Amino acid sequence: MSAEGTAVTGVTATEPPVSTEAEVVKPEKMEAPVVEAVPDVPTTEVAPVVTAPEAAPVGGVSEPAPVGAVSDAAPVVAVSEPAPVGAASDATPVAAASDATPVAAASDATPETPIPTVNKEAPGANPEPETAEPAAPALVNAQWGAISDSLILFYGRLPEILTAGEHSEVFGVPLVHNPTEPAFSTLLVLQKYLRANEGNVEKAADQLIATLQWRKQMQPVELMAAEHERAAFEGLGYVQVLTSNSEVVTWNIYGGVTDYKKTFGDLDKFIKWRVALMEAAIVKLNLVGGTKPIPDFGQGEDPYQVVQVHDYLNVSVLRMDPDARAASKAAPQVFGSFYPEMLSRKYFVNVPTVMGWLYKATTMFLPAATIKKFRVLSNGGELHLELGEEVPGVYGGKGVDLKDLGDPVKLGNKAEAAPTETPAASAATGDVTTAPDTVA
């Protein structure tokens, strides 16, 4: 700054300031702006000072009035004709421009900074949330209560899912899309797929589409009403409803198999019977007439699930029939892929200690959340401690014998003709496992 100041004095010393100022002051029109710039000073006193050719430069340097004059009169100097003034005061305009110009800009911009345009834009932005909001609040079901964002999003994709799946029934529930009020039973089914995929809508949609395509080909509801071969499946499966807690239990009595070839030799036939047994249990859950919502993932238990008991009494430990092994691999693929969130707990009972490999193989490829649902009981008589006194006597309870429960699936001397081939589970679902029949 001192260098600049020296330059200014140097300029004023070498070039006659009087002549340059005289040129500027000659058109006495500049007196009026100077007087207006300092309204507090009497006009009669200022006029002689400004008009004095010798005092003008001195006053311009020492008094603050010229600074104000420069800041206010900057446009006048810019418009003024004499180039020498700009050339002679190169240092001065630099200092003035750096100090005074921002002040002037600030003083000029201050009245404009309320910027009505900003406030004008704000009302323009307000309608945007209003147009985006109706999507969420519009979807309501008084019986369900608050519907989560993920379920709303999933439900919104239902039309395209139904189109891709070319089917509209899952677990006996017709999936329907109402833009404003979804059916309660439809929400139940969708929520199961969301929970099975930890709230991931994209994965849930993919799994539901795969399920719809599989059900279109398999026709599980018709399989439940169809007649299955008595010699192959009699005494192997039952369904019971525990009245004390309304739990649905499926009993799978693998120790009752008398002819492995008849039961497991035709894998397609075995899977169809197992699907029919599962569908019979799902009917007892009454998803169509359900009134209790399923909580979001991680927020509570699903009340629409089945308890499974697998009894291995008299199952040979030393040999594993190849047909039975193939069935034990195929069943989990089907039920893990197309029956998500249907298993509450699974009990392996009458499992010999030497069959510890069974449990290890069962849990090796399964997620921790599923493993928590498994229980292994070497003594089947202890099952009543888990499920209550309504279980049959052979399991320590006081309930009826399994045979008295009746066959949940129609059995006949000759099985009806089945579709050509059982649709396989899609490996894309990520639920394929080589463990024994763990999911169903």
Write the CATH number for 407: 3.40.525.10
Tell whether 251 and 336 lie within a shared domain.
yes
- Domain-embedded: residue 93: yes
In a domain, 434, yes or no: no
My answer on whether 211 and 258 are in the same domain is no
- Domain closes at, from 217, 239, 266: 217
Q: Are residues 173 and 225 in the same domain?
A: no
Burial class of residue 239 in the structure, from the number of CB atoms within 10 Å of its CB (0-12 exposed, 13-18 middle, 19+ buried) = buried
- Tell whether 253 and 384 lie within a shared domain: yes
For residues 363 and 305, membership in a common domain is answered with yes
Are both 212 and 224 inside the same structural domain?
no
Domain count, the chain: 3
Decide if 60 is inside a domain. Answer: yes
234 with 209, same domain: the answer is no
What's the angle, vertex CA 419, arms to CA 417 and CA 422, rounded to 5?
Answer: 130
Task: Look up the domain containing 206 and give its range.
Answer: 145-217
DSSP state for residue 287 in the 8-state scheme: S
Query: Which backbone phi and psi does 240 adopt, to 5 degrees?
Result: -135, 140
Question: What DSSP designation does 29 have?
Answer: G
At which of 187, 217, 247 does a domain end?
Answer: 217
User: What is the DSSP secondary-structure string of 197-253?
Assistant: TTT-HHHHHHHHHHHHHHHHHH-HHHHHHS-EEHHHHTTSEEEEEETTTTEEEEEEE
Residue 410 lies in a domain: yes
The verdict on residue 130 lying in a domain is no
Residues 256 and 242 in one domain: yes
Residue 118 lies in a domain: no
Q: 101 and 236 share a domain?
A: no
Give the SS3 label for residue 345.
Answer: strand
Has residue 120 been placed in a domain? no
Residue 387 three-state SS: helix
**Statement to judge: residues 191 and 327 lie in one domain:** no
pLDDT at 44: 43
Does residue 116 fall inside a structural domain?
no
Out of 200, 217, 234, pick the residue that ends a domain. Answer: 217
Q: What is the pLDDT along the chain (440 residues), one digit of tens a residue?
A: 444 444 434 434 344 444 444 444 444 444 444 444 444 444 444 444 444 444 444 444 444 444 443 344 444 444 444 444 444 444 444 444 444 444 344 444 444 444 444 444 444 455 555 544 444 446 889 999 999 999 999 999 999 999 999 999 999 999 999 988 999 999 999 999 999 999 999 999 999 999 999 999 999 999 999 999 999 999 999 999 999 889 999 999 998 999 999 999 999 999 999 999 999 999 999 999 999 999 999 999 999 999 999 999 988 765 778 898 899 889 989 999 999 999 999 999 998 776 666 666 666 666 677 778 888 898 999 999 999 999 999 999 999 999 999 999 999 986 444 444 555 554 333 333 333 344 35
202 lies in the same domain as 334: no
Whether residues 383 and 402 share a domain: the answer is yes
